[in-house]
Amino acid sequence: MTRIRVGLLGIGTVGAGTFTVLKRNQAEISRRAGREIAITVVADLDTNRARSIVGDDIEVVSDAQQVVSRDDVDVVIELIGGYGIAKTLVLAAIEAGKHVVTANKALLAVHGTEIFAAAARKGVIVAYEAAVAGGIPIIKALREGLVANRIDWVAGIVNGTTNFILSEMRDKGLDFASVLKEAQRLGYAEADPTFDIEGIDAAHKTALMSAIAFGIPVQFDKAHIEGITKLERVDIQYAEQLGYRIKLLGIAKRTDKGVELRVHPSLVPARRLIASVEGAMNAVVVHGDALGTTLYYGAGAGSEPTASAVIADLVDIARLQGADPAHYTPVLGFQSASLNAAQSSLPVLPIEEVVTSYYLRARVSDEPGVLAKITTILSEHGVSIDALLQRESDDVLGEGADQTDLIILTHRTREGTMNDALASIQSLPTVLGSVVRLRKEELN
Ligand code: NDP
Ligand code: HSE
């Protein structure tokens, strides 16, 4: 069979890994694909560095625009990143009738609907396994392996940088800034690390997973997003004492009223497997009605792990080359005509309508009646208490200490109700500073 000719746009961390793995495992990959997959042209702004990676036998150009419409390119891999030139190049490649592989979750989360529609019109594939959880084949699992199931929820650690930061801060007592620098050095972090630490990258990925899990359009703009920058070490410690780990979770959950789509630090029971996921590793838990709970674990970032997913997409395309587009796996796993109808029956819920349990920490004056006032307010709002702890944290100990921390775990309640209760608690003169509120996910 004729070989597949690939134009690679951007040979940075993931691009270089893709080139290396494809070259190293070429024979095996060709046997799997049924034909040779050859990168024939590479476009990168830094042509000298690109040439030092690919050698003299492969064409290197600086202008990616000229690659996307060439007759001698069958598939375009976009590994530049961002919404700017990447979007122009992806749409131009589709327009020129090329299949596209991308790891660019930001692009697909924000412009996916437009890009997928363009691809459907031209009868080409847009493949994006590497865009969610790096090397873990979660797109394939959700879109193909779990098709028999009605998916109830998906919850994942889908950002390696923040998981690495949380792990290092807890284990080694390192400070936030130095761990972030290390994550950048290791190639995990986005070009703009704000995307990582503010939860935006995880929300991009969770919005994509929610679309595939429930058959709704990608709605990143409706996701509730909180990162880890406001998380305090003392809460990580208290959570441990209560038997929980704090993880930045991306959650997509189907409820009777609609879909919860949220990213925030969450307390997870320490006994759950996902609580043990450390460093830059990712893990996604999926609950389907037939199979129950499954866990997908692996490297969510890095050069060769991400390349593994990029090449898996290339092989899928190589196997389908020449097939009728009607036989392609639907881009979001559901027939595209059904997506908009599902959107009205499964709207993304505002955060106030989310129902979950909570971890609350109030720093209070250590005097009689304080606890009673707080528990009374919770009770008046119908919030039921699950566990309660009083601790003197290191920074309030010492001579004349007259403050203490009250930590309360609640049962499930509506976020809007919790907001009202917290506003009342916050107004008590004996409550010092802002009450910390974290959400707790049992994942059972
Ligand atoms: P890098 O920044 O390492 O690589 C991007 C490359 O694209 C650089 O070599 C850059 O060149 C080049 N480039 C920039 N603009 C252009 C242009 N106009 N034309 C041609 N080349 C250009 O990024 P990553 O490899 O880390 O990420 C690539 C994509 O993969 C992103 O969408 C990212 O979100 C995604 N991703 C990354 C993962 C990771 O672990 N790193 C994991 C999963 C997904 P120069 O350096 O000279 O600017
Ligand atoms: N910045 C991302 C992360 C890369 O840290 O997980 C993988 O998408």
Extract the runs of DSSP E, i.e. beta strands, from 65-164. Answer: 75-78, 99-102, 126-127, 151-157
Cα 162 from Cα 278, distance rounded (Å): 10
Alpha-carbon distance of 278 to 275, in angstroms, equals: 8
Nearest atom, ligand 1, residue 46 CA: 47
**Which two tokens mark 129?**
């396994």
Report pLDDT digits (tens) over 90-124.
999 999 999 999 999 999 999 999 999 999 999 99
Q: Is the CB of 160 under 6 A from ligand 2?
A: yes
181 catalytically annotated: no
Mean pLDDT of 269-282: 97
Which is the closest atom of ligand 2 to the Cα of 133? 8
Report CA(162)–ligand 2 centroid distance (Å). 9
How many other C-beta atoms are found inside a 10 Å radius of the C-beta of residue 391?
15
- Residue ranges and CATH numbers for the domains of the chain are 4-136+303-338 (3.40.50.720), 138-298+344-350 (3.30.360.10), 352-440 (3.30.70.260)
pLDDT at 396 over 60: no
Structure tokens at 379: 């009770």
- Those residues with Cβ within 8 angstroms of residue 95's Cβ, 6 or more apart along the chain or in another chain: 69, 118, 122
C-beta of 435 in contact with ligand 2 (< 6 A)? no
Per-residue confidence (pLDDT) for residue 178, from 0 to 100: 86
pLDDT over threshold 60, residue 400:
no
Q: How far is the CA of 79 from the centre of ligand 1 (A)?
A: 5
Does the model's pTM come out above 0.85? yes
| 188 pocket-lining for ligand 2 (C-beta < 6 Å) | yes
Instruction: Give the separation between CA 69 and CA 91, rounded to whole angstroms.
Output: 11
- Whether 342 shows a pLDDT value over 90: the answer reads no
Ligand 2: distance of its center to the CA of 402 in Å?
Answer: 43
Count the neighbouring beta carbons within 10 Å of the beta carbon of residue 126.
Answer: 21
Binding site membership: which residues? 9-16, 105, 190
Residue whose Cα lies nearest atom 30 of ligand 1: it is 103
Q: Which residues are annotated as a binding site for NADPH?
A: 105
Mean per-residue pLDDT for 116-142? 98
Which one of 87, 98, 140, 205 is the catalytic residue? 205
Containing 85, the helix (H) or strand (E) segment is helix 85-95
C-alpha–C-alpha distance, residues 219 and 206, integer Å = 10
> How far does the centroid of ligand 2 lie from the alpha carbon of residue 399, in Å?
45
Residue of the CA atom closest to atom 42 of ligand 1? 301
Listed residue (333, 393, 330, 386) closest to 358, CA to CA? 386
Highest mean pLDDT among 29-33, 387-391, 401-405: 29-33
Distance (Å, rounded) from C-alpha 190 to C-alpha 212?
24
DSSP letters spanning 217-238:
---GGG-EE--STT--HHHHHH
**Residue to mutate (ligand 1; options 42, 52, 90, 306; most atoms within 8 A of CB):** 306
Q: What is the per-residue pLDDT across 16-53, written as a single tens digit (0 to 9) for each?
A: 999 999 999 999 999 999 999 999 999 999 999 999 99
Residue of 79, 132, 188 with the most ligand 2 atoms within 8 Å of its CB, for mutation? 188
Which residues have a Cβ under 8 Å from the Cβ of 32 and sit 6 or more positions away?
Answer: 315
Residue among 79, 195, 196, 209 whose CB has most ligand 2 atoms within 8 A, to mutate: 196
> pLDDT, tens digit, for every residue of 293-341?
999 999 999 999 999 999 999 999 999 988 999 999 999 999 988 888 8
Q: Which pLDDT score is estimated for 395?
A: 62
Q: Is 201:169 a contact under the CB 8 Å cutoff? A: no
Q: Is residue 398 predicted with pLDDT exceeding 90?
A: no
189 lines ligand 2 (CB under 6 A): yes
Nearest of 136, 82, 389, 391 to residue 281 by alpha carbon: 136
CA 244 – ligand 1 centroid, Å: 36
- The ligand 2 atom at the shortest distance from the C-alpha of residue 282 is 6
Percent of the chain with pLDDT over 70: 98
161 lines ligand 2 (CB under 6 A): yes
Longest dimension (CA), the chain: 82
Ligand 2 and 214: CB distance under 6 A: no
Label the pairing between strands 259-269 and 431-440.
Answer: parallel
Ligand 1, residues 9, 45, 62, 208: which to mutate, most atoms within 8 A of Cβ? 45
Rounded Cα distance between 114 and 128, Å, is: 15
The ligand minimizing its distance to the Cα of 66 is 1
Q: Tell me which residues have their CB closer than 6 angstroms to ligand 1.
A: 9-15, 43-46, 64, 79-81, 85, 103-104, 130, 134, 187-188, 190-191, 301-302, 306
Which residue's CA is the closest to the ligand 2 atom numbered 1?
189
**Contacts with 375 (C-beta within 8 Å, 6 or more apart), sequence order:** 385, 388, 408
Tokens 């939860």, residue?
199
Sign of dihedral through CA atoms 261, 294, 307, 125? negative
Mean pLDDT of 249-264: 98
Taking the C-alpha atoms of residue 126 and residue 130, their distance in angstroms, rounded to an integer, is: 12
104 Cβ inside 6 Å of ligand 2: no
Query: What span, in angstroms and rounded, lies between the C-alpha atoms of 106 and 159?
Result: 13
